[in-house]
């Protein structure tokens, strides 16, 4: 019996630590919403961005963050300087100045500009209907990102009316995600 319990906990621990975010394109997420409505969590990154890489490794690699995002969101990876065409709000956004041989920074994608993204990384939340809710710019550790993920899932953005509401929410939030 002890062996069975040990095996169960070993399997559970391995499964939990192996949890990864399954990223998709915005087009795939918007299509998936038609069958099963969920909010969208978009990571707007660039290839040269150090904090973006840190976010991938330490925050998105965290099993609590990965599981929460997988459960409540469609997760989208968007290269904010890439050349992917984005169809959104009956408009096509592109990156006409994209340079495929650029080794560092590249031209900013039109969709990046449309969303008002001015720095990287920026995480953007979208509603079940595909409407942008809010951006969140910068690197966040798992326990720092947690209140924002739950703020969106619990739709507190619909009832908060001031910066003070958000400040109180963040000050009184008790994280449960492991660092």
| Per-residue pLDDT tens digits for 89-121 | 999 999 999 999 999 999 999 999 999 999 999
In a domain, 67, yes or no: yes
Q: What is the pLDDT of residues 2-59, one digit of tens each?
A: 554 443 444 444 444 457 899 999 999 999 999 999 999 999 999 999 999 999 999 9
Angle formed at CA 63 by CA 60 and CA 66, multiple of 5 degrees: 50
Contact indicator for 135, 112 with CB cutoff of 8 Å = no
In a domain, 170, yes or no: no
Largest CA distance in the chain: 64
In a domain, 5, yes or no: no
In a domain, 47, yes or no: yes
pTM score, whole prediction = 0.88
In a domain, 95, yes or no: yes
Q: What does DSSP say about strands 132-137 and 122-126: parallel, antiparallel, or unpaired?
A: antiparallel
In a domain, 133, yes or no: yes
Number of independent structural domains in the chain:
1
Provide the pLDDT for residue 19.
Answer: 72
pLDDT above 80: residue 140: yes
In a domain, 176, yes or no: no
CATH of the domain at 128: 3.40.30.10
Provide the pLDDT for residue 2.
Answer: 52
For 132, the domain range is 19-140
Provide the pLDDT for residue 14.
Answer: 42
In a domain, 148, yes or no: no
């Amino acid at each position: 019996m002890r062996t069975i319990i040990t095996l169960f906990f070993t399997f559970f621990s391995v499964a939990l630590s192996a949890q990864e975010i399954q990223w998709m394109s915005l087009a795939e997420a918007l299509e998936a919403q038609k069958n099963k409505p969920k909010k969208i969590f978009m990571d707007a990154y660039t290839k040269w961005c150090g904090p973006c890489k840190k976010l991938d490794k330490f925050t998105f690699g965290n099993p609590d963050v990965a599981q929460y995002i997988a459960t409540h969101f469609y997760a989208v990876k968007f290269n904010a300087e890439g050349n992917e065409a984005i169809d959104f709000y009956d408009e096509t956004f592109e990156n006409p100045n994209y340079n495929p041989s650029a080794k560092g920074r590249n031209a900013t994608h039109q969709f990046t500009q449309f969303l008002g993204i001015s720095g990287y990384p920026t995480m953007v939340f979208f509603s079940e209907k595909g409407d942008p809710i809010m951006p969140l710019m910068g690197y966040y550790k798992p326990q720092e990102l947690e209140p924002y993920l739950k703020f969106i899932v619990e739709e507190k953005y619909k009832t908060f009316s001031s910066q003070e509401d958000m400040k109180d929410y963040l000050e009184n939030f008790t994280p449960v995600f492991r660092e």
